[in-house]
Amino acid sequence: MTTQHQHLVYGHSTAHDCLAFADAGTATEEAAEIQALAAARTWGEARQVRMTHLWNPAGPEYHEPEDGYADDKPFDITEVGAVADGNWPRLVTERAFTVLPQDLQDRYGKRQVTVHNGDYLEIAVAGEGELVAELRERGYEVTRDDALINLLGGFSLGSPAA
């Protein structure tokens, strides 16, 4: 078995009441992109938010000014179709499929199917200690950050920025 050296961030996903895992190497930057879009005050600002890791659901390819989304029109991220439909950002609980080893997915997780947003891996909070210990034994660096995990999942997008 090869030893991994990957840094994972994980936490309790409030939306699905289970653990979620993400690549710590990009998680903070992705969260910053989500926050930047959520902070936009007008559609013009929202269209200008640069995305490196995510796609911009308010970008010009989705919402043209002439379609009623004028640059000076007030922007509310919760009114963006992809956000309202739960398609942006993608389910944070889906990331476990790509960042966790398959045998640990099988042992600790249960695939859940959603009608509109794809599958996700439900990992019971009760298995946290054992799963984290196994990951560390395999050379993973694992850090818990519930706020970051929930931001990546878009859980608090509807609440005003602090």
pLDDT at 5: 63
If you compute the radius of gyration of the chain from its CA atoms, what whole number of angstroms results? Answer: 17
pLDDT at 1: 44
Query: Cβ distance 46 to 71 under 8 Å?
Result: no
Is the C-alpha dihedral spanning 8, 33, 146, 19 positive or negative? Answer: negative
Which SS3 state, helix, strand or coil, does residue 74 take? strand
The band of 151, judged by pLDDT with boundaries at 50, 70 and 90, is very high
The band of 2, judged by pLDDT with boundaries at 50, 70 and 90, is very low
Q: Using alpha carbons, list the distances in angstroms from residue 100 to 77, 140, 142, 145.
A: 31, 10, 11, 17
Pairing of strands 18-23, 109-114: unpaired
Q: Tell whether the model's pLDDT for residue 114 goes beyond 70.
A: yes
